[in-house]
């Protein structure tokens, strides 16, 4: 057998937001590295599409649910049938809008999905003893709110800044259990950027010029960092962050 410090063979990993983007790529790459994956998201058809793309799809399982709904959160935790070796918190969204036009409902929605839901999921998994000693928890954050912000992203930035603060605190608390907690902080990633119609193709072409490497990132490039943080290759890393932004924050 070839030595591979990044192997996830024999490990069980939960991936939220696995129906698209970074969550889908993380689930696929974890399967390729040997992990058994429990996938969760709100869209059944897209979750099943992720499953079809994974290595040995019959090894993995799917649980449908919205992390911001109490009943769904409980069902997802109950679906964890054996202690987890890894958790990848990918669920999240953004609503580009100037701060003065945000309603209380808008703020509750963004903070609820991007911060409160992954925080409560982590807490539930801990209380139910669903995390194995040596487990690695990875939160997908963003350069927005941690390194920079943009017009219309104030609340999204706040939610991601809150995630990074949470990670540093629980990393200290969980170190005694040998449970590691880290973040990956991407710049703009090629996912479904144009789907909402709020950003034009011309705006994207102009924005990409701000990246020294001349392009946006791909979901797989973030997933590779996730695999690293789940693996033994990063076993002396906790409370840390991996910045993947094509050089954006250098300028």
- Which active-site residues does the annotation give? 156
Using a pLDDT cut of 70, give the percent of the chain over it.
97
Q: What is the mean pLDDT of residues 37-49?
A: 97
Q: What is the pTM of this model?
A: 0.95
Q: How far is it, in rounded angstroms, from Cα 59 to Cα 231?
A: 19
* CA–CA separation, 163 and 158 (whole Å): 9
What pLDDT is attached to residue 195? 62
Model confidence pLDDT, tens digit, residues 98-142: 999 999 999 999 999 999 999 999 999 999 999 999 999 999 999
Convert the pLDDT of each residue in 138-155 to its tens digit: 999 999 999 999 899 999
Choice between 13 and 92, residue whose per-residue pLDDT is larger: 13
Residues paired with 41 in a beta bridge: 64
For residue 61, what is the DSSP state? E
For residues 194 and 22, what is the distance between their CA atoms, to the nearest angstrom?
16
Q: For residue 51, is pLDDT > 90?
A: yes
Output the average pLDDT for the chain.
Answer: 95
Cβ(68)–Cβ(44) under 8 Å? no
Mean pLDDT of 231-242: 98
Flag whether pLDDT at 88 surpasses 70: yes
CB 30 within 8 A of CB 8: yes
pLDDT in tens, 159-209: 999 999 999 999 999 999 999 999 999 999 998 754 655 667 788 888 899
The whole-number pLDDT of residue 209 equals: 93
pLDDT at 237 over 70: yes
Q: What's the gap between Cα 195 and its chain centre?
A: 20
- Report yes or no: 47 and 75 within 8 Å, Cβ to Cβ: no
CA pair distance 210, 205, nearest whole angstrom: 10
Q: What is the pLDDT of residue 196?
A: 58
């Amino acid at each position: 057998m070839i030595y591979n410090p990044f192997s996830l063979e024999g490990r069980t990993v939960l991936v939220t937001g696995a129906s698209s983007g970074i969550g889908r790529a993380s689930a696929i790459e974890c399967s390729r590295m040997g992990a058994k994956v429990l996938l969760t998201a709100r869209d059944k058809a897209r979750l099943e599409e992720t499953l079809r793309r994974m290595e040995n799809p019959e090894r993995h399982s799917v649980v449908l649910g919205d992390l911001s709904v109490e009943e769904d959160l409980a069902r997802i935790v109950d679906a964890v049938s054996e202690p987890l070796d890894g958790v990848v918190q990918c669920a999240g969204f953004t609503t580009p809008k100037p701060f003065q036009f945000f309603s209380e409902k808008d703020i509750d929605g963004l903070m609820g999905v991007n911060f409160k839901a992954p925080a409560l999921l982590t807490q539930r998994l801990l209380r139910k003893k669903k995390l194995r000693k040596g487990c690695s928890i990875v939160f997908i954050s963003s350069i927005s709110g941690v390194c920079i912000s943009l017009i219309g992203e104030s609340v999204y930035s706040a939610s991601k800044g809150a995630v990074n603060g949470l990670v540093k605190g629980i990393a200290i608390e969980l170190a005694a259990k040998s449970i590691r907690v880290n973040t990956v902080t991407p710049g703009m990633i090629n996912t479904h950027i144009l789907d909402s119609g709020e950003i034009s193709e011309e705006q994207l072409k102009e924005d990409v010029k701000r990246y020294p490497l001349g392009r946006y990132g791909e979901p797989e490039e973030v997933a590779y960092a996730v695999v690293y943080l789940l693996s033994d290759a990063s076993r002396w890393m906790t409370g840390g962050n991996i910045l993947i932004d094509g050089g954006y924050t250098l300028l």
